[in-house]
A and B are shown apart, each in its own frame.
Chain A
């Protein structure tokens, strides 16, 4: 009888490894979680498959299905939600090597790609056909199409084109039976934001836009109320492709990290991008003025646009960063931000947000910290405060992954939540596909409590204490 190791080696050859040193490089993502928390899950895989073809994926999936090996799909792991971290060991199926652009249809402005295609590389390839990505994350230089779709999210271009979900037309998904199924239209919804808990995506068809040179423009606005009103009007009146918002606190952190003067000293900075020659600068100036703001010089706008893929520069002075992330309707933004500032008065808050089609924002609240510090686990509670306050103002969680798996119902809404649960039961009755990401990793003796639930409850409990523990940098390098 073949051992699982032998079977995998025979089927996948050099694409599979059991080398403990390599396995350990797959036990984390962007997030800096405390060791004791990680010790509660089996986050080091027992085997890694670096797929180089769809056939590698289907072979690995078929073996995992037949031998009941948990499978954690992973691309570049550029999220901090734990969605690509195993919690039951098993197999990590690394699809970052599936990075081919399969077909470009310039006439219909669509492209078929493998899941490991990196957004920035795709943009370069599409440019040759006169096309470009409609949306992309700020991590575009490394993050992948499949990974972003599986996590869900918004970013550059979302003011005009919505989320990644809104721009995916069709997907192929490999199941535990080793077969690939094509899903289109509404059928693809359950696979969005679910981190491969229903199958491993092997192809995506994306809608593209005509490649156009973008002209950035930066606007200063005095307060959050003005920001909300300005963005609502800008979406309705201006041909804006993308809008990124930064607080003066964030600008100060960035400036310190980059060694230049902050773009603004107070209020908010909005950097818009619109196709060249479509933006009426007089109209923009008039709109900014109507909300008590003004258009800043082109040098600021150009720098901000050029730096759009580098939001984590501030980590240079951290050395770590706590991040609270949430969606909020524009109508609740000002009240939410005031509440967040009031709840965390002792920290320098850096706020960055992306405007999303139909009047909402995806907000990131950054707080510097040091993951190696003794009090870091306690201070982590601060990261949950912005989300909790946002929820009071109509906001919701940004993504689920592993750490927020217990919040899935709120993220998905009841209909999708039910549909996903039904599909999960049918496609993966033994919970092999990315286990722990449906409701959070469970505890053997406390089946009613998941790690995710524990984090949600625990951070809520320690949040008042966390808020009283500002991070003081001991050294500036």
Chain B
């Protein structure tokens, strides 16, 4: 009896089956996949082989083995494969559905992902931090109000691990006198790590709590510095809200979208010269997922003194930082090498500063720069902007 991936996890199984049929087997995906090189050079680690396997499995010709489960989890969900796919197969959606199916069958997730789930269930965040520490990043000058049009969604990585972007971003809003609310201590993980690793049941609980929170706060705009959070809130939450029968009539914005609007409106005027040669890393879940390629460059162009030098792979072709899709948690060595490769590409540009706009990417690069003993400085776009906006 063939061990098939659970079909019930795929609500639109027919569409996905058709998409798999359209695979041209051209291998464009293989050429860009950041994790393929870690498969010993064998075809089985390529996205096109995974599509072929999933089709074979669906049609009962291939067994879902622990090895295939492992291969299907070795994906950062960076979307490079689907960006180059000749037939536009929604590959990341396919991987996520497959993972959900494997979890449903008890064959997934991987051990580290189970720990994320356990921590999220107990603490509301995958880092296992007590919620009392969630608002520790707030600076004395920050002044969140109880209710406002804008609700700041800090996200777990920014709140607990890499707060600089979040702090800078909120400082800018504060200095511009733009009111914002913040639900420190009540905010749950957006559930991105659980959704990406197929743990839908656990994800549902977090999403449900967040949806209730958003309704309570009466926010019409949710603003976040995190690529993963903004992608999840924008694209996953509407469907979950419908499924759960909860309201979610809000606009989700990544910080870069807010700043670029403020710059265009003339409300945000970077004046102080920041003499830096920077290279910009497009976070996968901000760039390819949300199409925000021009916005960060427009912000950089508005900062006097900043000179942008692009990496060989930028915008739609940007390489991954290696952290997404549960890869950093379960395959830390692979994730670290992918991050080092990206940082090396940044160093090759001759830039003195590597700028990004996702705390998750920032965490990976921070570690990679240390390992490479690089002198390139790492900054969030928000930090750079704040330097120019001044007090």
List A residues at the B interface (Cβ < 8 Å). 14-15, 17, 19, 21-22, 24-26, 28-30, 48, 50-52, 76-78, 94, 96-97, 118, 120-121, 124, 139, 141-143, 257, 309-313, 315-316, 318-320, 370-372, 475, 477
Q: Say which residue of A52, A141, A475 sits within 8 Å of B18 (CB atoms).
A: A475
Q: Does B67 contact A (CB under 8 A)?
A: yes
Q: Are B42 and A315 in contact (CB under 8 A)?
A: no
Given contact pairs A25-B42, A318-B21, A372-B21, a sample of 10 additional A-B residue pairs in the complex whose CB atoms are under 8 Å apart: A22-B44, A24-B56, A24-B62, A25-B49, A29-B25, A141-B31, A143-B27, A313-B88, A316-B86, A318-B22
Nearest Cβ in chain A — how far from B341, in angstroms? 14
A475 to B15: give the CA distance in the assembly, Å: 10
- Determine if B24 and A315 form an interchain contact, defined as CB atoms under 8 angstroms apart: yes
Residues of chain B touching chain A, judged by Cβ–Cβ distance below 8 Å, are 15, 18-19, 21-22, 24-28, 30-32, 40-44, 46, 49, 52-53, 56, 62, 65, 67-68, 84, 86-88, 312
| A residues near B53, Cβ cutoff 8 Å | 25
Task: Using known A-B contacts A21-B68, A25-B49, A124-B312, determine if residue A142 contacts B44 with beta carbons closer than 8 Å.
Answer: no
Partner of B67, one of A15, A21, A51: A21
The reply to whether B44 and A118 form a contact with Cβ atoms under 8 Å apart is: no
What are 22 of the A-B contact pairs (CB < 8 Å)? A14-B40, A25-B42, A25-B43, A25-B53, A29-B25, A30-B24, A48-B42, A48-B43, A51-B41, A77-B25, A78-B25, A97-B41, A121-B31, A139-B28, A312-B26, A316-B22, A316-B88, A318-B21, A319-B18, A319-B21, A320-B21, A477-B15
A141 to B24, CA, bound (A): 13
Contacts of B52 in A (CB 8 A): 25, 28
For A475, the chain B residues whose CB sits under 8 A away are: 18
Query: Lowest 6 CB-CB distances: which A-B pairs, in order?
Result: A50-B41, A319-B21, A142-B27, A97-B41, A316-B87, A312-B24
- Give B68's nearest chain A residue, CB to CB: A21
Q: Are A78 and B26 in touch, CB under 8 angstroms?
A: yes
Q: How far is the CA of A28 from the CA of B62 in the complex (A)?
A: 15
Q: What B residues does A30 contact at CB under 8 A?
A: 24-26
Bound CA span A475–B88, Å: 17
Q: Once bound together, how far apart are the Cα atoms of A14 and B26, in whole Å?
A: 26
The residue of chain A having its C-beta at the shortest distance from the C-beta of B84 within the complex is A141
A252 to B88, CA, bound (A): 17
CB A48 to nearest CB in B, in angstroms, measures 7
Write the nearest CB–CB distance from A255 to chain B, whole angstroms. 14
CA–CA, A319 and B52, complex, Å: 14
Q: Specify the chain B residue showing the minimal Cβ separation from A120.
A: B31
Closest residue on chain A to residue B87 by CB atoms? A316
Contact B44 A25 (CB under 8 A): yes
> Is B42 a contact partner of A312 (Cβ separation < 8 A)?
no
- In the complex, A139→B28 CA distance in Å? 8
Q: How far is the CB of B22 from chain A (nearest CB, A)?
A: 4
Least Cβ–Cβ distance between A54 and chain B, in angstroms:
14
CB distance from B36 to the nearest CB of A (A): 10
How far apart are A440's CB and chain B's nearest CB, in angstroms? 22
Question: Which residues from chain B contact A17 at a C-beta distance below 8 Å?
Answer: 40, 42
Check if B24 sits within 8 Å of A94, measured CB to CB: no
For B30, the chain A residues whose CB sits under 8 A away are 76, 142
A50 in contact with B42 (CB, 8 Å): yes
A141 and B22 contacting across the interface, CB-CB below 8 Å: no
Which residue among B27, B41, B65, B67 has the maximum number of chain A CB atoms within 10 Å of its CB? B41
Distance in angstroms between the alpha carbons of A51 and B41 in the assembled complex: 8
Give Cα A420–Cα B357 distance, bound, in whole angstroms: 58
Chain B residues contacting A143 (CB-CB under 8 Å) are: 27
A160–B56 Cα distance when bound, in Å, is 43
B-side contacts of A22, CB under 8 Å: 42-44
Knowing A142-B26, A319-B18, say if A313 contacts B43 (CB, 8 Å): no
Task: Name the residue of chain A whose CB is nearest to the CB of B50.
Answer: A25
Q: Compute how far the CA of A224 lies from the CA of B21 in the bound complex, rounded to whole angstroms.
A: 33
Candidates A15, A94, A118; contact of B43 at CB < 8 Å: A94
A30-B26, A76-B27, A312-B24 known; A21 vs B44 contact (CB < 8 Å)? yes
**Chain A neighbourhood of B88, CB < 8 A:** 257, 313, 316
The closest CB in chain A to the CB of B313 belongs to A124
Nearest opposing residue in chain A for B312, CB measure: A124
CA separation between A50 and B46, bound complex, in Å?
Answer: 13
Given the contacts A21-B44, A22-B43, A48-B42, A118 and B31 also touching, CB distance less than 8 Å: yes
Known contacts A28-B52, A475-B18: does B86 contact A315 (CB below 8 Å)? yes
With a CB–CB cut-off of 8 A, which chain A residues contact B31? 76, 118, 120-121, 141-142
B21 touches A313 (CB 8 A): no
Interface contact A371-B21, CB-CB below 8 Å? yes
Q: How far is the CA of A257 from the CA of B86 in the complex (A)?
A: 10
Docked-complex contact B68 and A477, CB < 8 angstroms: no
Distance (whole angstroms) from the CB of A138 to the closest CB of chain B? 10
Asked whether A78 and B27 contact (CB < 8 A) given A25-B52, A312-B87, the answer is yes
> In the complex, how many angstroms separate the beta carbon of A337 from the nearest chain B beta carbon?
25
| Neighbouring A residues of B28 by C-beta, 8 Å | 139, 141-142, 309
Question: What chain A residues lie within 8 Å of B312 (beta carbons)?
Answer: 124
Query: Cβ of B32: which chain A residues have Cβ within 8 Å of it?
Result: 141
Interface-central residue, B25, B67, B84, by most chain A CB under 10 Å: B25
Shortest Cβ gap from A121 to chain B (Å): 7
Q: How far is the CA of A94 from the CA of B25 in the complex (A)?
A: 16
User: CA–CA, A185 to B15, complex, Å?
Assistant: 52
Residues in A neighbouring B25, C-beta threshold 8 A: 28-30, 77-78
Within the complex, what minimum Cβ distance (angstroms) separates A16 from chain B? 10
CB-CB < 8 A to B67: which residues of A? Answer: 19, 21
Chain B CB count within 10 A is highest, among A77, A142, A371, for A142
- Per the bound structure, the CA–CA distance linking A51 and B49 in Å amounts to 18
Alpha-carbon gap, A315 to B85, bound state (A): 11
Min distance, Cβ A111 to any Cβ of chain B, angstroms: 18
For the complex, give the distance between the alpha carbons of A291 and B63 in Å: 59
B56 to nearest A CB, angstroms?
8
Residues of chain A contacted by B56 (CB below 8 angstroms): 24
Nearest Cβ on chain A to B94's Cβ, whole angstroms: 14
Contacts known (A25-B52, A28-B52, A477-B18); A139 close to B26, Cβ less than 8 A: yes
Quote the shortest CB–CB distance from A373 to chain B (angstroms): 10
Bound together, the chains give a CA A78 to CA B24 distance in angstroms of 9
A30–B15 Cα distance when bound, in Å, is 22
